[in-house]
Structure 1
Amino acid sequence: MASAGPDLLGALPAGPRGAARGGFLWGRGVDLAVFGGSAAVALALAALSTGGALPAWGFLLFVVGVDVAHVHTTLFRTYLDPEELRRHPALYAGVPLACYAAGVALHLASELAFWRALAYVAVIHFVRQQVGWVAIYRALAGERSRVDRLLDDALVYAATGWPLLYWHAHAHPPRAFQWFVDGDFVSAPWLAAAVGPLGAVYAALAVAYVARAIQRACVDRAPLNLGKHVVVATTAATWYVGIVATDSDFQFTVTNVIVHGVPYMALVFAYARERAREAPRSLLARVLASGLLAFLGIALALAFVEEMLWDRLVWHDRPELFGGARTGDEPLLGPRARALLVPLLALPQATHYLLDAVVWRRRHTGPAQARALGFRPGTPEGERGESGEA
C-alpha cells in the first residue's frame, strides 16, 4: 500500500482570520465534505464491514484509486510546473536520486530493512499531515497563543501515536493488517505496560482541548474554529477505529487511506487551479483546462500502471486485476534484481514523502499556494505568498 500526503506542519504562522472564506480553506461546505465527509465514509465502511482481507474491488477503489493516485497528484505541484522546476532544480533532481540510492542500499542490506525504513517514514509523514492541517486552520482563525499550538500538537500526536503504540505492543500474534509488508513494524511487547498510562495522558489532553475550546467560545468570544475541530475529531476516530477497535485489513485500509488521500488531492487540485490561472500557457494550465476529470484521470492512470508493474514484477497476487498468474510467496526475481527494481517502483511514494516535507512549507509559499490554503491578499500570509518570501 503506497501511502502519502503533505507535511503541512509550519506551513504558515498564525495570523488574521482568512476573511474571504470565514476561516476555511475552500469554504465551509467544501471543507466539511472533504474532511468530515471522507472520515464519515471511512467510518461507515468500517462499521458495515464484517472485517477480513481487502477484496479486489476494495484494492482497486481504495488503494489504487485513492492511495496510490494521490501520490501521483504531487506531480501537479512539482514536476508538471516548469517554473517550479527552474526555481528549485537541485531539490527536484536530488530528492529522487537520493531516495533511489538509499533504497537500493537498504534493500541490498536487507529487504525487511528497506520496507521497515519506508514504513516508518510513511507513518511519520501521515502523522505530520494531520498536525499540519490543524496548523493551517489555527492560522486561518488567527489563534496566536502558544498554548493553543502546544495543546493542538500534543493532542494530534497522541491521537495518532497512541494507536501506533498499541499496534507495536500487540504485534504478536500478528495483526491482520500491516503498513506495507508483514513485519515492517517492530514488535515491541514490552511497550504494553505503557499503553494504559499513555492512554490516560491522551484522554487528559482531549479533555484539556475541549475545555480550551469552550473557554475560547464562552470567555474569549472567539468564533468557533469548526475546521480544526473536525480534523482533530476525525483523526482521533479513524486512527482508533482502524488500528485499535478493529483488526481487519479492510477496516484498516479504509480508515487509513480515505481520510489521508482525499484531502490531499483536494489541496493539490486547488493549488493547480490557482497556478494555472497565473501561467495560462503552461503545461499545467493545458491539463487543467479539462478540469477535475483530467486531474483525476492522469492520477488514476499513473496509479494503475504503477500497481500493475508492482503486481506483474514483484507481488504476483492480483492476476484478476493485472493479469499474469498467481505465484504464491516465491519471488520470480533474484535478490540483486529486486534490490534494483523495488526501490525504483517505490520511488514515486518515497519522493512524495520527502518533497511534501518541503513544498508546502512557508518558504515555498507563492501566491497560488497561499490562495489554495485559504489565505487572501491583505493578510500577512497572503502578502508573504505574493512576495514569495519565507
Structure 2
Amino acid sequence: MRLHVDQRHERVLELVRERGSLRVAELAAELGVSAVTLRRDVETLAAQGRVHRLHGAVVWPGDPAAEPEPRQQSAEGIVIGMIVPTTSNIFADIVRGAREAVGARGGRLVLGMSGYVDTEDPVQAEHLIAGGAEGLLVAPSWFDGVPVGGQEKWLVDCEVPTVLVERSAPAGNPAAGLDRVRTDRAHGAAVAVGHFVSLGHRRIAAVLQEGPHAAQISAGFHAAVQSLGLEVDTGAPTVREHGDYEATIDYLTEAVRRRGVTAALIHSDEDAIVLVPKLQACGIRVPDDLALIAYDDEVAGLADVPLTAVAPPTRSVGEQAAKLLLQRLAERRAGRASAPRQHLELLPELRIRSSCGGTALDS
C-alpha cells in the first residue's frame, strides 16, 4: 500500500533512527518509492532539523557520521575555475576529483587549459574570473614545477582565492604562501627503491622524464639510496626528454651489462612500456635481467609485462584542492579570518605487478 507523505516521513525517521545512517538509494528501495521522491522527503526533514544529509546519505542527528556536516559549507551556485596544462595524463583524474567535490556541494567547475604555455595561465585566469569564477584551482605551466623569472606574479596578485595543484614554490618565493595540494613524489620514489631492496637488488638506476616532477622524484630516489646504503649507477638518476628512447636504451644496456645494474625506476609508465620491448631486442629481459618500476600508473597494468608502478592519488589531489578552495570561499563569504594556509602532500602507493619478478599482487 502506498504510504501518505506524512506516513512516509515517519517511516524514514524510524529507519534512520534505528540504523544511524542510510544511503538515500537504499532507503528509497526499502520504502518502494523513487529516489527523486525520497530525496524530496529527506530535504524536507533536513530543513526541519530532524535528519542530516551527508554525501548521498541521510544521517540521524548525533550519529558520529553526521558530525562533519555542520562544517561542510554549501557551495550552491558557486563557480570554481580550474586551469590545467592538459586534460590528458594525470590531469584527467585530478580534474574529475575536483569536479566531483565541487558538484557535491552544489557548485560548478569551469575549465581552462594552458597547453603548457606559461603566458596562457593568466589569460585563462582573467577569462574565468570575468565569467564569474569566485576562486581558482591552478596547475601552472611551470616547466620544472616551480616558478622562475617572476612566473608567479600574476598568481600572487590574483583577485580571487587560489590553490596550487601539483605545483609548489620554494621558500622565499611569494607563491610559497599560497595554499597547495600535490602528490609527494619523493615519497613515491623512496617506496620504489625500498621495494627493489626487499627483492634483493643493490645496484639501481633511474631514468626520469624531464618536466615538473623530475626534481621531486630525483630527490626521493637520492634520499632512499643514501639511507639504505645502496650503490647508485653512474649518473643516476638521469633525466631525459620524453621520447628520447635511443639514448635511454643505450644507457640502460650499458648499465646492466657493464656495471651490474639489476633494477631501474622509469618515469613515466608510458616510457617504460616503450622501453621493455626495446630492451628485450637488445637481449635484456624484464624482469629476469632488469627489474622495472614505472611511475604514474596510468597504463602500466596494460603492458605486455604488467609493470609494477608508483600510483599518485590523482583524484584525491583534485578533491582535496577543491575542498580547500571551497573552505577559503566560505571564510570570505562569512567575513571570517582565514585559517592558516595549508601545504598538503598526499602519498602515492606502490602497485605490485610482474615487472619486478616475485609475486604480482595487482593486475
TM-score tier after normalising by the smaller chain length: under 0.3
Higher strand share: 2
Which protein has the larger Cα radius of gyration, Structure 1 or Structure 2? 2
TM (norm. structure 1) is: 0.22
TM (norm. structure 2) is: 0.23
Higher relative contact order (Cα pairs below 8 Å, separated by 6+ residues): 1
